[in-house]
């Protein structure tokens, strides 16, 4: 099964941490090695946004080019809005991008790999799979 890797994991993996690799980074490396990583355009944008150095931006952009985007369609945006409304009706607030990730994961039958605890809340009401 392919896995959508959320920005929280990519950010951790791309940091220059001198303490050694985090278990999530090791899992990401395994997913990459198994060709199971599925990229979404909004996640690519979040990863690249805020990189101050042009050289670092190009380096990260070039690295991410290895992961083609899963094409989003109008249905994904509509489903994301439905998911937003479902969760809001249960008192759970979330970001539009999060619900778009959820919608794409359901349509593509992908699991979601994230450190963002909001996804655990969403999973109580949405048909998403977390890994």
**Contacting residues for 54 by C-beta, under 8 A, at least 6 apart:** none
Residue 18 has pLDDT above 60, yes or no: no
The token pair at 46 is 């979040």
Express each pLDDT in 46-101 by its tens digit. Answer: 999 989 999 999 999 999 999 999 999 999 999 999 999 999 999 999 999 999 99
Percent of the chain whose predicted confidence (pLDDT) is above 90: 92
**Contacting residues for 128 by C-beta, under 8 A, at least 6 apart:** 102, 105, 106, 111, 112, 119, 122
Residue 120 has pLDDT above 70, yes or no: yes
Distances (CA, A) of 54 to 12, 49, 60, 66, 93: 20, 11, 10, 19, 34
The span from the CA of 53 to the CA of 126, in Å, is: 38
Residues paired with residue 5 on neighbouring β-strands, in sequence order: 113
Domains of the chain and any CATH numbers: 1-131 (3.40.50.1010)
């Amino acid at each position: 099964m392919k896995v959508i890797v959320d920005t929280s994991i990519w950010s951790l993996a791309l940091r220059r941490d001198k303490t050694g690799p985090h278990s999530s980074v090791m899992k990401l490396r395994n997913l990459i090695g198994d060709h199971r990583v599925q990229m979404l355009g909004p996640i690519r944008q979040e990863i690249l946004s805020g990189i101050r150095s042009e050289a670092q931006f190009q380096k990260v952009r070039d690295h991410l080019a290895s992961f083609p985007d899963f094409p989003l369609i109008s249905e994904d945006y509509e489903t994301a809005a439905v998911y937003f409304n479902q969760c809001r009706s249960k008192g759970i607030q979330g970001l539009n991008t999060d619900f778009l990730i959820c919608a794409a994961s359901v349509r593509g039958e992908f699991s979601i790999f994230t450190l963002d605890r909001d996804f655990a809340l969403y999973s109580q009401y949405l048909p998403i799979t977390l890994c």
